[in-house]
A and B are shown apart, each in its own frame.
Chain A
């Protein structure tokens, strides 16, 4: 056990950093003096977590805690996305949290706890770990959402997110109980094997298994904000402090999609039966197809009429969930697409956290950018806002030479290659992304082509925000022009995931539940 300790290191560093910040906050006299120290402690935690990932890159998968966790390159890739999102959010918040009257230490502690929950989620290999890490990240994010002490909207957002999230948790735990009930296992791999046997035998228990898988899928669909489980997204995103919104949008999504892919590949049988809802569709193909199509259509559709930028980005994040779910759905026909999904998650992390950081940067006179009207002609007062915003919006709209285009490109080509009903899905995706271009470009049109108003612009911004923006802008463009290296890495990560869990063909046992207990 202690020998495996280094596998925990990413999480441990995050938690240690959180504990140190907590202690400083408790025993430090003057919060203003300890501010920078807290910040660098938290940043150090993230960096150390990043460095300690190194052994798991290009290494065989390792399980620890009797198989409760599994670290492989797949989780390492996702942890990188999560850590990037966390670091950007931290940099962007350096002066922002002070402006909205929040203690920086509180923010950092909660952020680090959320990040450690996400890291745990990506390495979870059994239902209990999955449940615990989801709850750890959810609770932290609820608190982060409601952190804006002076704003009634922040509290309302936290309340809505909490109620909906707790409800989804109830559904998920019910699903997990059902899976445990039919298989008697909590670890993903045995569950997958037994489910395959159950579906081969078809003695009635497969109904409960189906129910369980469906309930878990619904809970994850909630976490990633897929329609029709999306209602919390716009409200929570709008009410939360802006940097938290960025963090929620990217890191939660990366972690949840990572866990969902692992579940889909490892636990939910693709080869259970030729017909039925697994069939050639792989994991719950129809449901994912439906969720993806609905998310793409409704997300973009709702976003068009939004004038509040944060809300618009919230609906756009629903649409992006739809594109990612399209990848997952198409995996039933073409498993190459997972690499595209990973790439898209990385691209999405950079462009979305960048866009939210840009909103913070663009906020003038200590006032949050709310309506799109607040952006009028800002590009001429603050050229950096214009260029950065244009790059992020182009990327979100999927215009070439940006990360967003390459991400869409990888997912769409692979989905098209899957053929059949996925082709329809890809066509829906293409149509809706054209629809989406309208509202992204409108933001650019406002920043460039409208007359600026007379409101003053804020003076000097802090270096943290500038650093966050520089990182995301460069990342977005670089990923758009030279995608191959990152795509190769994503492919490697996915290969391992699938290779490790290739299941032997399962023959129908006499009685479900009596297959070998290994």
Chain B
């Protein structure tokens, strides 16, 4: 069995990669992908914690909530992609580019 530490490490690396992507990318689709990466990294961590607490003999709600939580996050992430894409398309139709810098009409 994998050490929880290792899996959590993976989660942290993925989350950081997502964070880095959000901060360094300008293309909106890449931004969206990085954001999803962050959510999914947390999913891994949640599942790991859930397993850990099951091993500690925690009550049912405590032990399984992490897994429920993950499912919920997945569903929300899917919805987020849907809405995100719709918004990006709306921006693209007006600015003719998916570069986040092009949308800077509102400022000051």
Interface residues of A (CB under 8 A from B): 66, 126-128, 131-132, 135, 139, 142-143, 146, 152-153, 155-160, 162-163, 166-167, 169-170, 173-174, 176-177, 180-181, 184-187, 190, 234-235, 238-239, 306, 311, 513-514, 517
Contacts and interface: CB of A to CB of B under 8 A. Distances in A.
Contacts of A190: 62
Interface in B77-92: 79-80, 83-84, 86-88, 90-91
A174 B42 contact: yes
The 7 closest A-B pairs by CB, nearest first: A170-B38, A184-B53, A152-B94, A235-B106, A155-B90, A156-B103, A186-B65
A153 B91 contact: no
A261 B61 CA distance: 24
B83 A132 contact: no
Given A156-B95, A170-B18, 8 more contacts: A142-B83, A159-B100, A162-B84, A170-B15, A180-B66, A187-B61, A235-B107, A517-B62
Chain B contact residues: over half helix, strand or loop, or mixed?
A: helix
B20 interface: no
A132 B78 CA distance: 13
**Which of A177, A190, A306 gathers the greatest number of chain B CB atoms within 10 Å?**
A177
Interface in B16-72: 18-19, 22, 28, 31-32, 35, 38-39, 42, 45-46, 49, 52-53, 56, 58-59, 61-63, 65-66, 68-69, 72
Contact of A162 (B42, B45, B87, B105): B87
B76 interface: yes
A132 B76 contact: yes
A132 B103 CA distance: 29
Given A131-B72, A173-B39, A517-B62, A184 B90 contact: no
Given A127-B69, A152-B94, A170-B42, A160 B84 contact: no
A135 B95 CA distance: 27
Contacts of B63: 184
A218 B54 CA distance: 30
A159 B87 contact: yes
Given A135-B76, A170-B39, A177-B42, A158 B90 contact: yes
Contacts of B28: 159, 163
Contacts of B68: 128
A155 B49 contact: no
A177 B83 contact: no
Contacts of A155: 87, 90-91, 93-94, 103
Contacts of B84: 162, 166
Nearest to A162: B87
Contact of A184 (B22, B49, B87, B93): B49
25 contacts: A128-B72, A132-B76, A135-B80, A139-B80, A139-B83, A143-B86, A156-B106, A157-B106, A159-B28, A159-B88, A159-B100, A163-B35, A166-B32, A166-B84, A167-B35, A169-B39, A170-B22, A174-B15, A174-B45, A180-B46, A180-B65, A186-B65, A235-B106, A238-B106, A311-B108
A132 B91 CA distance: 26
A173 B15 CA distance: 11
Given A142-B87, A162-B84, A513 B56 contact: yes
B31 to A, nearest CB: 6
Contacts of A163: 28, 31, 35, 100
Contacts of B19: 170
Contacts of B88: 159
A208 to B, nearest CB: 10
Nearest to A194: B62
Contacts of B83: 139, 142-143, 162
A484 B68 CA distance: 45
Nearest to B80: A166
B106 A146 contact: no
Given A135-B76, A174-B42, A186 B35 contact: no
